[in-house]
Amino acid sequence: MEALLSSTTTTTLRPSLTPSSTKPPLSLSTFTTTTHKLSKSNKNIRLRVSATSPKPATETAVDTFTVPSEMKGWVYDEYGGVDVLKYSSNVTVPSVNDDQVLVKVVAAALNPVDFKRRLGKFQATDSALPTVPGYDVAGVVVKVGKQVKGLKPGDEVYGDISEKALDGPKQSGSLAEYTAVEEKLLALKPKNLDFVQAASLPLAIETAYEGLERAGFSEGKSILILNGAGGVGSLTIQLAKQVFGASKVAATASTSKLELLKSLGADLAIDYTKEDFEQLPDKYDVVFDAIGQGEKAVKVVKEGGSVVVLTGAVSPPGFRFVVTSTGSTLTKLNPYLESGKVKAVIDPNSPFPIDRVKEAFSYLETGRATGKVVVYPVSEEYILEKLAQ
């Protein structure tokens, strides 16, 4: 594959000693995964990158793993609908720059930017084709570049692998067995979250956090979130309430999702199929538009307030921004995730196994997903190892 260099490397890897998730992590049972078929305790998992003779898994064992030059992954070499996606078994494993680590992908999540990019909407600033799509990853570090200081092989990490979502995003994304990522874009996976939950978070939670910060949101302020049930909105509700200390959180969704909004912390859940939020008397310090209703959004903001727009038209005083990936945001939010104050929201149709990525995209592209659509398991060796336990 052009510009994706082939490499064969032997990596010494200590088995992870950190249990990922041994208990049902969430209370939002309808909309989140409480258990995943294969995600029981991963204590003493040996990550078998290729079929080498495994040593016994003991706490002191050091195993040698070989990173192959080719891997399985989803690729497209022309822009278009889901049918341009091909599942290939000879995708080149990306090389690792000095500031990067190679991650064995366990779970990946889909974002609307993945399909918008695949449709060619960002061609002017996109990386060259062919593309392995995928921004969100949760997995295990198997190799580190020379300048990497804080991560080592065996670390369980998560992150959004492309610093700029639209400006030269990675050509070799997370919907493959390996992806190379700058250390600064990753954080250690919260101990209580499994890989599915961790993969669901990075791009969406970083967008929510950056949007709230850019809007100057702070304790005691009120906020209206347009599209509270999607990937970004479901986390924005929680961050506004639990991290920023909102005095009032209102959010929109269709009828069947109003209870979810309330369970996430919304004080007011507005059914957009029955009520027009701009006709309601309330005004807000901040309006967070995660659906493309910027022109209506500015009508319900208080004077001097902010309107953050993620997509679609922007009217003054609204502003739009594109998320910048940074692992430090995830590290900052890890305590809230570990305490359970902020929870991953996984669409009930998730996770989709790696061979059903087209189906996963078709579903996301309906615009009806609740929380995040996750792909898991991604790496077969990892699954076999888990099943053997």
Ligand X SMILES: NC(=O)c1ccc[n+]([C@@H]2O[C@H](COP(=O)([O-])OP(=O)(O)OC[C@H]3O[C@@H](n4cnc5c(N)ncnc54)[C@H](OP(=O)(O)O)[C@@H]3O)[C@@H](O)[C@H]2O)c1
Q: Which residues bind ligand X (CB under 6 A)?
A: 111-113, 165, 204, 207, 226-227, 229-233, 252-254, 257, 272, 290-291, 310-311, 321-323, 364, 367-370
* CB neighbour list of residue 199: distance below 8 Å, 6 or more residues apart: 106, 107, 108, 109, 136, 137, 138, 158, 174, 374, 375, 376
Task: Give the nearer residue to ligand X in terms of CB position, either 159 or 230.
Answer: 230
Q: How far is the CB of 164 from ligand X (least distance, A)?
A: 10
Task: Give the nearer residue to ligand X in terms of CB position, either 30 or 254.
Answer: 254
Q: How far is the CB of 263 from ligand X (least distance, A)?
A: 14
Distances (CA, A) of 92 to 3, 48, 57, 73, 205: 9, 18, 30, 9, 30
Q: How far is CA 118 from the centre of its chain?
A: 17
Residue nearest ligand X, CB atom distance: 230
Task: Give the nearer residue to ligand X in terms of CB position, either 190 or 233.
Answer: 233
Task: Give the nearer residue to ligand X in terms of CB position, either 101 or 109.
Answer: 109
Q: How far is the CB of 268 from ligand X (least distance, A)?
A: 14
Task: Give the nearer residue to ligand X in terms of CB position, either 207 or 329.
Answer: 207
Q: How far is the CB of 66 from ligand X (least distance, A)?
A: 37
Distances (CA, A) of 146 to 97, 99, 183: 8, 7, 11
Residue linked to tokens 């900052």: 332
Q: How far is the CB of 204 from ligand X (least distance, A)?
A: 6
DSSP 341: S
Please give the angle made by the CA atoms of 103, 106 and 112, to the nearest 5 degrees: 95
- Alpha-carbon span 305 to 319, nearest angstrom: 12
Q: How far is the CB of 258 from ligand X (least distance, A)?
A: 9
The sign of the torsion formed by the CA atoms of 173, 175, 176, 182 equals positive
Task: Give the nearer residue to ligand X in terms of CB position, either 20 or 234.
Answer: 234
